[in-house]
A = this chain, B = another copy of it.
Amino acid sequence: MSKPKSPPRLSEAELSHLAARFKLLGEAMRLRILESVCHESHTVSEIVEMTGSTQANVSKHLALLANANILERHKEGQFVYYGLKDKLVLQLCALVRTQLQ
């Protein structure tokens, strides 16, 4: 009759996926990277400059975020642009921020 307010029970796999997702957001540098591309796509070197990290480090984080389909990646000549693909993360961040006052 009434549909249950909360999902029945999370499977092992669902829990892992969920955790993996949150874990990706659980690094300040990755949040900084997300922030830097939240309005428009940028090249790796632009993101390096915006975040103040090293090229190798940024590149690694970008790969992680892109593999998780949070960022989209497209190449233009010798440049690679990364942009926000999963807009949901913005909502997540906003939600948590209000929580943190």
Point out residues on A near B: beta carbons under 8 Å: 6-7, 9-10, 12, 14-28, 30-32, 35, 38-39, 86, 88, 90-97, 99-100
Contact (Cβ within 8 A) A96 B22: yes
Query: Bound complex: CA of A32 vs CA of B14, how far in Å?
Result: 11
- Which of B21, B35, B38 meets A96, CB within 8 Å? B21
Residues of B within 8 A of A6 (CB): 38-39, 90
- Closest chain-B Cβ to A94's Cβ sits at a distance in Å of 8
Residues of B within 8 A of A90 (CB): 6
Residues of B within 8 A of A27 (CB): 19, 23
Residues of B within 8 A of A7 (CB): 94, 97
- Which of B10, B17, B24, B100 meets A21, CB within 8 Å? B100
* Contact (A97, B26) CB under 8 Å given A6-B90, A39-B6: no
Chain B CB count within 10 A is highest, among A16, A96, A97, for A96
